[in-house]
Amino acid sequence: MMATDRVATFAIAFTLCYAAIYVACTELNVPLLTYHPVIGEIDFLWKPSRQGPAMYWYGWMLTAFIGAAALAFGATLMPEPWLQRTILFGALAALSYLVLYSLALLVYDKASVELEFLTWRWPSVVAAVIAAAIGTAFAPAQWSERLWPGWTWSIPLGALVVLGYYLTPYFTR
């Protein structure tokens, strides 16, 4: 399947963007709404819990939905070669971030001295964007054409791996 069908383009781009934005929202705690179930109130953006726990999940879902819909709509307007290069960049950035941040956390966990800077996300994000830009610039055009149908699964899979890693403490207590 090539990216000529606008509905298919929207659906695939929405799926990829939703997974990536949802992980970013949970990692950075950026909900559009905060729900307080005990008192039955909904607040705009992040608010601390009042009486009982605050639920941010609905806000993360809504933030990811709006962001993914906007990006997917933009993907339907892009020329196909640009879209394929953008997908290659996104896949390389997601994979690079997953590898770099996982390695940084592994080194942090195994280090005998305190290396707090390894827990910072931004160095891994910057390095992943640079690696993706270099990889996209030097990749032959044939790679990006074949990437669209074959490798788009890597972004949601990477998002699930990151979420699984972050949620491990909740399942191992």
Asked if residue 171 and residue 105 are part of one domain, the reply reads yes
- Is the same domain home to 68 and 103? no
Shared domain check, 96 and 19:
no
- What is the domain extent for residue 63? 1-77
SS3 annotation, 56-108: CHHHHHHHHHHHHHHHHHHHHHCCHHHHHHHHHHHHHHHHHHHHHHHHHHHHH
Is the pTM of the predicted complex or chain greater than 0.85?
Answer: no
Please tell me the distance from the alpha carbon of residue 147 to that of residue 84, in angstroms, as a whole number.
8
Does one domain contain both 47 and 117? no
- The CB density around residue 9, as the number of other CB atoms within 10 Å, is 22
| Domain final residue pick, 49, 77, 105 | 77
DSSP 8-state symbol, 112? S
Pairing verdict, β 33-36 and 41-44? antiparallel
Final residue before a domain boundary, out of 39, 62, 77: 77
Cα separation, 53 vs 49, in Å, equals: 5
| Residues 66, 82 share a domain | no
Per-residue pLDDT of the chain (173 residues), as tens digits, is 454 578 888 888 888 888 888 888 888 888 999 988 888 888 888 888 888 888 888 899 999 999 999 999 998 998 888 888 887 888 788 888 888 988 888 888 888 888 888 888 888 889 999 999 999 899 887 776 665 556 667 777 777 787 787 777 777 76
- Whether residues 99 and 115 share a domain: the answer is yes
Q: Give me the number of domains the chain comprises.
A: 2
Same domain, 137 and 59: no
